[in-house]
Structure 1
Amino acid sequence: MKIQAAVATAPQTDLEIRELELDEPRPDEVTVRLVASGVCHTDAIVRDQWYPVPLPAVLGHEGSGVVEAVGADVTDLAVGDKVVLAPASCGVCEHCIAGHPQYCVDFSPLNFGGSRPDGARMFSEHGSPISSNFFGQSSFASVTNVRARNAVKVADDAPLELLGPLGCGIMTGSGSVLNVLRPGAGESIAVFGTGAVGLAGMLAAVASGATTIIMVDIVPSRLEFAKELGATHVVDSREVDPVEAIREITGGRGVQYALDTTGVPQVFAQMTKSLALRGHGVLVGAAKLGTEAPFDIGTLLTSGISISMVVEGDAVPREFIPKLIALHERGLFPFDRLVKRYPFAEINRAFADSESGETIKPVLVY
């Protein structure tokens, strides 16, 4: 069928909305008509070729929509089902079957390879193939094909215009806190970065019962917004040393948990030094391949700290996304306050507003 899609053609270049051809779904796929798609920092850095995804490409990986067709082997989804789309995984490797699909042995080719595993691409233009299957979905398109495994069924009355970011950015921040760090009631956490991932992590910390929640950034308005959402303390790292500030807030001990959402080497180093004895820190911020960060192994050797590198919140999407929806419905996870909607035709403005910080989480509405 003919569909509309935003095509990335070159680094630092606006996406072009074009008419493309979409092929038929494979036996294990469903065709989804998109209702909305979040815009994520990863879309921008892939457009700019931090990761070597083939261009031209249809990006987008926070999609939500309605199933229009199902492949012959699909048994758990039906036409008309509402779905949120999640990253691709094989489902059969040792990590997938152990409940850690975000560390699938084929995660990179399945999500960044630009095609299905057999090399076939879903989209074409005048007979020429266009890189597709980004994060298993390429959701910057009015209609796309995804493996049924990637689609999370939600309730018939689910607000699809809101839910797409649960498939990546919101899942990454909240999952890193709830699935990996797991702070308990009365414990402390510091979050570096007040973008969508950082604020989602903060909201998860509030929901978990943590009572010392410190947000670190360089944008005063974002820090004030974090306080509105539940942060107990904020640190402007342009004005003060964040490590010293965190230790002062915690009586010299440091925080039990920390989350770096920036991918900035200096910030990563600050996170490691802000941890209490036997504290646990997580890095989720994406950096260019080959980026190295300082790590004071001399001083930190006796600290007993743990550092984890986390992808997509180490979540099982079909289990975790419904939990986030349930928390939101009860008013315990108000991630909707991070979202601003844009018509699909204004995708490049959404990218620009995300990069400038004007918008925390842009969501395109088809």
Structure 2
Amino acid sequence: MSDNPSFVLKDILDVEIQQKPVPESESTKGQIHARLLIVLSCEVDANEIISGKYRATGCYRMEPLSVAVHAVSNLGALLSNQSVAVFGCGPVGLLCMALAKALGASRIIAEDIIPDRLEFVKTYAVTDTFLPPSMDKGASGVAFSIRNAQEMKEKLGIAEHGPRAIDLVLNASGAEASIQTGIRIAKSGGTFVQVTAMSPLTCLLSLCKELVVRGSLRYGPGDYPLAIALVASGKVDVKSLVSHRFPFRQACEAFEITRIGKSPDGKGIIKVMISGPDVDINEV
């Protein structure tokens, strides 16, 4: 049997590395497909794929960037010099901000409950950040969203109309409080895009503000080519999002720091990568 170490999840927190047969196919098409699957699983950079070189650096980031392209460019229809607010500083939210910057947004606001991520995004793509207040004990989600939106408007000088208004709000967190806050800070006649799983919307407020409310499910035709072009031209930085990288045989450690939210040295996680069995992380 060829050397093919595989990560096997036997139960919660019970994993081991096992040798598994290498998938084989009789058809040329199947061989190419299998090769691409192996390439993609080993952290391959899209630019290297295009040039015919298979180095481990970043193809995996084309998928979340394509999600951002679909939400910001296609559904959000962002124009140059418009303002954007993004709720959630996970990889998809961060790439929504990076795309907004690449498309010429005049103002990009990031909101998240994790201070480390807000610190990171200050040097990555945004003009403003906002850390929401703690929810009062016994307060409803609606009451909190009203207070949160008000504090956000006061601190960042957000208006309902005019140049200080928010043209496009993207929610990449899925949290109900973030959705309700986002709708409250969007300008009248603005656009709200839900990028992840949907929670209940404040329908009446959306109607009163005449918002364009759209749901974004992954990506569509043309999103991948634009994502690749933006990275190839240097307009979107995807490499900076990888905060931690582990060799294949330390996959358990990678999952553990993802669960905790930070590594033993206290560094907060953004994107944790597990390299393929034949990849030396020191050469990535």
1:252 to 2:174 alignment: no
> Residues 153 and 26 from structure 1, CA distance in 2 versus in 1: closer, same or farther, beyond 3 angstroms?
farther
AA aligned opposite 1:224: E
AA aligned opposite 1:303: K
Residue 86 of structure 2 is matched in structure 1 by 191
Structure 2 SS opposite 1:160: coil
AA aligned opposite 1:295: L
Match among 54, 72, 75 for residue 177 of structure 1: 72
Residue 8 of structure 2 is matched in structure 1 by 7
What is the percent sequence identity of the aligned residues?
A: 23
CA drift of 1:244 comes to 2.1
Distance 1:173 1:349 in 2: 29
AA aligned opposite 2:158: T
CA drift of 1:153 comes to 5.3
Question: What residue ranges of structure 1 are gaps of 5+ in the alignment?
Answer: 38-62, 66-81, 85-151, 287-291
The answer to whether the 8 A contact 1:216-1:242 is kept is no
Structure 1 SS opposite 2:205: helix
CA drift of 1:216 comes to 0.1
> Where is the strand percentage greater, Structure 1 or Structure 2?
1
Distance 1:208 1:237 in 2: 27
1:155 to 2:51 alignment: yes
1:233 to 2:236 alignment: no
Question: What residue ranges of structure 2 are gaps of 5+ in the alignment?
Answer: 136-146, 263-267, 277-284
Structure 1 SS opposite 2:78: coil
1:302 to 2:213 alignment: no
Structure 1 SS opposite 2:123: helix
1:19 to 2:19 alignment: yes
The answer to whether the 8 A contact 1:154-1:322 is kept is no
Instruction: Spell out the pairing of 1:204-243 with structure 2 (5 A cutoff).
Output: 204-238=99-133, 241-243=147-149
Match among 315, 319, 325 for residue 220 of structure 2: 315
> Residues 300 and 221 from structure 1, CA distance in 2 versus in 1: closer, same or farther, beyond 3 angstroms?
same
Distance 2:51 2:17 in 1: 31
Match among 13, 31, 38 for residue 34 of structure 1: 38
The answer to whether the 8 A contact 1:194-1:215 is kept is yes
Residues 186-239 of structure 1, C-alpha deviations (whole Å, 9 max, x = no match):
101111111111111100000010111000012222112211112111100136
AA aligned opposite 1:197: V
Residue 277 of structure 1 is matched in structure 2 by 188
Distance 2:272 2:126 in 1: 22
CA drift of 1:334 comes to 0.9
> Residues 336 and 293 from structure 1, CA distance in 2 versus in 1: closer, same or farther, beyond 3 angstroms?
same
Instruction: Spell out the pairing of 1:121-136 with structure 2 (5 A cutoff).
Output: none
CA drift of 1:338 comes to 0.6
The answer to whether the 8 A contact 1:191-1:201 is kept is yes
Structure 2 SS opposite 1:161: coil
14-23 or 222-231, larger mean C-alpha shift:
14-23
The answer to whether the 8 A contact 2:5-2:19 is kept is yes
1:359 to 2:269 alignment: yes
Distance 2:46 2:127 in 1: 35
CA drift of 1:304 comes to 1.6
CA drift of 1:279 comes to 1.8
AA aligned opposite 1:251: A
Residue 281 of structure 2 is matched in structure 1 by none
TM-score when scaled to structure 1?
A: 0.60
Residue 200 of structure 1 is matched in structure 2 by 95
Distance 1:189 1:297 in 2: 21
> Where is the helix percentage greater, Structure 1 or Structure 2?
2
Distance 1:175 1:262 in 2: 16
The answer to whether the 8 A contact 2:61-2:238 is kept is no
